[in-house]
Amino acid sequence: MDAEAPPSDGWMKIPTHDLDVSSCGGFTVGRRGRLYFKAPSLRLAAIDAIVWRLDRDGVVFRFIGTHVAPPPLEIVPRECQYRLSNSLIWTWEDTHRA
């Protein structure tokens, strides 16, 4: 993966502010998951993505699919969800679960 590639079309850098994403197993370079978008009065939306790069001030995601009608967040285990902001939630599959 090209660590120097800037965010552009198909990419999104999300500031992490004071969040410590390095302590969360869901944020490793190359991790596949789904980025959920929640907005008041709108339906939940999501897009499949990869953690492309971790910076001191944010996470760069590379979109790998099209906008999807996501499954409800209630079926995603809490330990596989990370709230990035009031409207963005990163989810991933726990590969260590039996």
Identify the pLDDT of residue 7.
46
> At residue 56, does pLDDT exceed 50?
yes
As a whole number, mean pLDDT of residues 14-21 equals 77
The model's pTM is: 0.75
Q: How far apart are the C-alpha atoms of 37 and 25, rounded to whole Å? A: 21
56 belongs to a structural domain: yes
What does the block give as tokens for 2? 């090209």
Identify the pLDDT of residue 50.
93
Q: Residue 50's CB: how many other CB atoms inside 10 A? A: 16
3 belongs to a structural domain: no
97 belongs to a structural domain: no
What's the domain range around 52? 11-92
Domains in the chain, number: 1
61 belongs to a structural domain: yes
Q: How far apart are the C-alpha atoms of 70 and 97, rounded to whole Å? A: 21
Identify the pLDDT of residue 4.
52
As a whole number, mean pLDDT of residues 36-60 equals 87
